[in-house]
Structure 1
Amino acid sequence: MTSDLICIGAIAGAFGVSGEVRLKSFCSEPSDIVAYGPLLSEDGQRRFEITLTRPVAGGLGARIKGVTSKEAADALRGTSLFVARDKLPKLPDDEFYHADLIGLAAYDTGGELLGKVVAIHNHGAGDIIEISSLRHKSALLLPFTLAVVPNVDLAAGRLIVDPPEETE
């Protein structure tokens, strides 16, 4: 468990001229982003009270309390939105928050250290796990599936990876 705050979305920029923003939600149900109450900046110092307005291309339209102009909305572009970990639902044993996977040691099925999980990406076709590699010049990018990552042990701070032949 890496942090008390978990990123659940980001402000992608202004939408329109009256301060509405475009939100990217990282929740499994995108509209759930507002269910956690005010969201926080990464340092926890700023609070964002958000009301969804409508679906928009690439995200959700939303209003943020106190943001009333396009310029103010544009100034928030790129701001990540966080919620306290204890507000998130408990997950089943076979599901994980991305934040909990970052930093885990990655071992192959023979017990050899491959590297460390540095990021989880999702471009629409499923999660991709990025592992800094001790064997390769570049990071390993692998599908985060049961076949490729058969074991995740958060308590031990490690996961087992069975990379496809062409990545070894």
Structure 2
Amino acid sequence: MSEPEKLVTIGRITSVYGVRGWVKIHSFTEPMENILAFSPWWLRGSKGWEKVEIAEGRRHGKGLIARIEGVDDRDVAQEQYCQRDIAVESSQMPALQEGEFYWHQLEGLEVVSDFEGKQYQLGKVVRIMETGANDVLVVRGGSDGIESRERLVPYVPGEFVTSIDLELGRVTVNWDPEF
């Protein structure tokens, strides 16, 4: 089996659906159905990544269901595929407009606050949360930051997020370091 290029996690197989090997999918894509357009999927397991093809998939109620090629048995689907992350090669991701970023590009970046003329190391982006109003950067400090606490910085470009430099691995924010 060939090794995948850089992978981006886009969802998770959660449980089985029915008796014919279908599985329920939790999609991280927007809209959620976009996950079904990617092929192949790479599933993370205890022995690394496994490449699979999706035979069919569709919306079902408020979620998604899919059938993996060659799987037509509920027990096989349960034992071999449930509770596994779904990833695709980063080269499959659609190109973005200038100034737009995928969440996976921001995770791990250093966050520096340029607040009232001084710079403060706040930590690194550990994840991004979706909220109703706007997305939020979850920034965790480390030994080189002000402290090791976690901060929630609204991802509002032009207001709180002043610049993102992927080459430098840095997000600059206008955020009170005491907050």
Q: TM-score, normalised by structure 2?
A: 0.79
Cα deviation, 1:111-158, whole Å, max 9, x if unaligned, reads 211101111222565422111123355311222222222211111110
The structure with more radius of gyration:
2
Instruction: Give the superposed CA RMSD.
Output: 2.4
**Residue 69 of structure 1: aligned partner:** 73
Mapped to 2, the partners of 1:30 and 1:130 lie a distance apart of 23
In structure 1, list runs of 5 or more residues that go unmatched. none
**Relative to 1, partners in 2 of residues 1:16 and 1:135: Cα closer, same or farther, differing over 3 Å?**
farther
Kindly indicate whether residue 87 of structure 2 is the aligned counterpart of residue 82 of structure 1. Answer: yes
Q: From 5, 16, 31, give the equivalent of 2:7.
A: 5
Say which is worse superposed, 33-42 or 93-102, in terms of deviation: 33-42
Structure 1 range deviating more: 94-103 or 137-146 = 137-146
Residue 100 (1) aligns with residue 105 (2):
yes
What CA distance in whole angstroms lies between the structure 2 residues aligned with 1:55 and 1:125?
27
What SS does the corresponding residue of 1:135 show, helix, strand or coil?
coil
CA distance in 2, matches of 1:33, 1:129: 23
Residue 156 of structure 2 is matched in structure 1 by: 145
Structure 2 residues not aligned, in runs of 5+: none
CA distance in 2, matches of 1:140, 1:8: 25
Superposed CA deviations along residues 65-98 of structure 1, whole A, max 9, x for unmatched, are 1222333333322211111111111111221111
The residue correspondences of 1:1-168 to structure 2 (distance < 5 A) are: 4-42=6-44, 45-50=49-54, 51-57=56-62, 59-75=63-79, 76-109=81-114, 110-122=118-130, 126-133=134-141, 134-146=145-157, 147-163=159-175, 168=179
Q: Which has the higher strand share?
A: 2
Give the TM-score normalised by structure 1: 0.83
Letter in 2 for 1:139: E
Deviation at 1:14, TM superposition (A): 1.2
- State percent identity of aligned pairs: 31
